[in-house]
A and B are shown apart, each in its own frame.
With several copies, the nearest count.
Chain A
Amino acid sequence: MSGWDRQQMADRLAREFQDGWIVNLGVGIPTLCSNTDIGDRDILYHAENGVIGYGPVLPAGQEDLHLVNAGGQNVSLNPGAAIVHHADSFGIIRSGRIDVTVMGAYEVAASGDFANWKLAGQLGGGIGGAMDLAACAQRVFIILEHTTRKGEPRLLRQCSLPVTARGVVTLVATNLGLFAPAGEGFAVRELAPGVSFEAAQTATGAPLLPG
């Protein structure tokens, strides 16, 4: 089974961004979305640390050490960028001005629940801005590998881990394709090249519904 690599997963989701959207990118694969060529669409990338209007990650030697995205990577700024502090940055988030937040996750449920802050049996966790974003953004998109390293499904009927927020995920990109939580299962919006419906179903812990 082939499928998409990490940048392709990010590119596929970035294709869904609509002209004029304000987009928040979380740590990990989601940060790759700001590398995607979005053509003539006007997309404003917001990072939780108060950077509004950033662009691609810069190569070593060209980076500005004072400027990082949510993943701690040194990014560039687009014309019209602005900087705010953390309270104003999360004010933008909580007041519903983020059109979409793209996050990584451990698990996504067919109900739209997702879990990305605490592993089973773990003491403490890593919430970061995920709960604020999940509760308040207009849309939540998730990017994750379709299965764990042990091959267990991460798209499930119900989350087994403590959730980050309930019923909020509307679109999921994995290495196998693009899926939409649909209550009883996941609607298949698109399968990655070389991935069959049956192979995707086998790797999924909930029914797949033909898109």
Chain B
Amino acid sequence: MGQRSKVFGNFTEAVADIPDGAAVAFGGFAGPGTPYNLTRALLAQGAKRLTCIANTTGGAHQPRMPDIGMLVENGQVAKVICAFTAATRPTDVLPFTPFYERGEVEAELVPQGTLAERLRAAGAGIPAFYTPTAVGTELAEGRETRVIHGREYLLEYALPCDVALIRAWRADAAGNLQFRLSQRNFCPLMAMAARTTIVEVEEPVLPAGAIDPDQVHLPGIFVHRLVPIPPAPEGLWTTRRQERAR
């Protein structure tokens, strides 16, 4: 095989070339699918003026885990694009919030389904689409709408990104991925929307062909770098029960 391997030895190396100003998408919905290890490496790597795309800015729960909130605290973030820029529980104060209130970070608040669809559109070569979501709300004020078959819809644009950081359960050497249960969430969509997709993988990388072609959740076409997660405590949030129990 002529192509070079997609498997990287460590997280540091896998995120080393993410440039200042990059648009980076972070997979995950609550814990599953969240790239804690890659995010920790990005914190150490130090790229600045990032645009961070994710469901939430993170940091709502203890103990803290590497997330966008930490990148904000570390001075690496220019803008977030999220479905939550405040916590669902109004009494929770996010690490992100004081930075946002002081105007040090910009934020674009996007309904979750619109966020998913904008990512999917970018990955599918669709530059813009219409959605019923958010019509009649503050989010639609001053924006372009269109009546189609008697109902009003909002115009939304694709959301491409430079890098997707995601987490998967299994991968083969061709980069084909499988996610377990709700780990899937935004991960395949962000990979489709990204120029470079970097994956932390829970299981050792399998040889090409070891995953049934019918059971691939994300084809290797969308996957560029794979990093197997080492056992805890070096690897973060290993989901193997025996390791967590240590």
Do A and B touch each other in the complex, judged by CB within 8 A? yes
Could you list which residues of chain A lie within 8 angstroms of chain B, going by C-beta atoms? 19-20, 22, 27-28, 40-42, 44, 46-53, 64-68, 72, 77-97, 118-119, 122-132, 135-136, 162-166
- B90 close to A119 (CB less than 8 A): yes
Of B2, B83, B136, B175, which contacts A19 at CB under 8 A? Answer: B2
- B88 close to A128 (CB less than 8 A): yes
- A166 close to B84 (CB less than 8 A): no
Could you list which residues of chain B lie within 8 angstroms of chain A, going by C-beta atoms? 1-3, 29-32, 55, 83-90, 97, 100-101, 107, 109-114, 116-117, 119-120, 122-126, 131-139, 169, 172-176, 179-189, 192, 207-209, 211, 213-214, 216-217, 219-222, 239, 241, 244
Q: A67 and B181 in contact (CB under 8 A), knowing A19-B2, A124-B107, A129-B112? A: yes
Q: A83 and B124 in contact (CB under 8 A), knowing A28-B88, A42-B2, A119-B90? A: no
Q: What are the residues of chain B within 8 A of A22 when measuring CB–CB?
A: 221
Bound-state Cα–Cα, A50 to B123, Å: 15
Of B1, B185, B219, which contacts A82 at CB under 8 A? Answer: B219
Q: Which 9 A-B pairs have the closest CB atoms?
A: A94-B125, A80-B174, A79-B209, A90-B113, A124-B85, A91-B124, A132-B113, A72-B30, A80-B208
Q: What are the residues of chain B within 8 A of A40 when measuring CB–CB?
A: 1-2
- A85 close to B132 (CB less than 8 A): no
Q: What are the residues of chain B within 8 A of A53 when measuring CB–CB?
A: 174, 213
Of A68, A95, A125, A128, which contacts B122 at CB under 8 A? Answer: A95
CB-CB nearest in chain B for A51: B182
Q: A85 and B3 in contact (CB under 8 A), knowing A51-B181, A80-B174, A93-B113? A: no
Q: A92 and B111 in contact (CB under 8 A), knowing A79-B209, A87-B119, A119-B90? A: no
Q: A90 and B117 in contact (CB under 8 A), knowing A52-B219, A83-B216? A: yes
CB-CB nearest in chain B for A92: B221
Total A-B pairs, Cβ < 8 A: 218
Of A65, A68, A86, A123, which contacts B101 at CB under 8 A? Answer: A123
Of A28, A41, A66, A81, which contacts B183 at CB under 8 A? Answer: A66
Q: What are the residues of chain A within 8 A of B90 when measuring CB–CB?
A: 119, 122
CB-CB nearest in chain A for B30: A72
CB-CB nearest in chain B for A27: B88
- B85 close to A126 (CB less than 8 A): yes
- B192 close to A79 (CB less than 8 A): no
Q: What are the residues of chain A within 8 A of B1 when measuring CB–CB?
A: 40, 42
Of A47, A86, A94, A123, which contacts B126 at CB under 8 A? Answer: A94
- B189 close to A85 (CB less than 8 A): yes
Q: Nearest-CB distance from B95 to chain A (Å)?
A: 13
Q: A66 and B32 in contact (CB under 8 A), knowing A94-B132, A97-B221? A: yes
Q: What are the residues of chain A within 8 A of B216 when measuring CB–CB?
A: 82-83
- A127 close to B100 (CB less than 8 A): no
CB-CB nearest in chain B for A115: B137
Q: What are the residues of chain B within 8 A of A48 when measuring CB–CB?
A: 112-113
Q: What are the residues of chain A within 8 A of B89 when measuring CB–CB?
A: 28
Q: A85 and B185 in contact (CB under 8 A), knowing A41-B2, A135-B134? A: yes
Bound-state Cα–Cα, A123 to B30, Å: 22
Q: What are the residues of chain B within 8 A of A135 when measuring CB–CB?
A: 132-135
Q: Nearest-CB distance from B8 to chain A (Å)?
A: 17
Bound-state Cα–Cα, A118 to B86, Å: 8
Q: What are the residues of chain B within 8 A of A65 when measuring CB–CB?
A: 31-32, 239, 241, 244
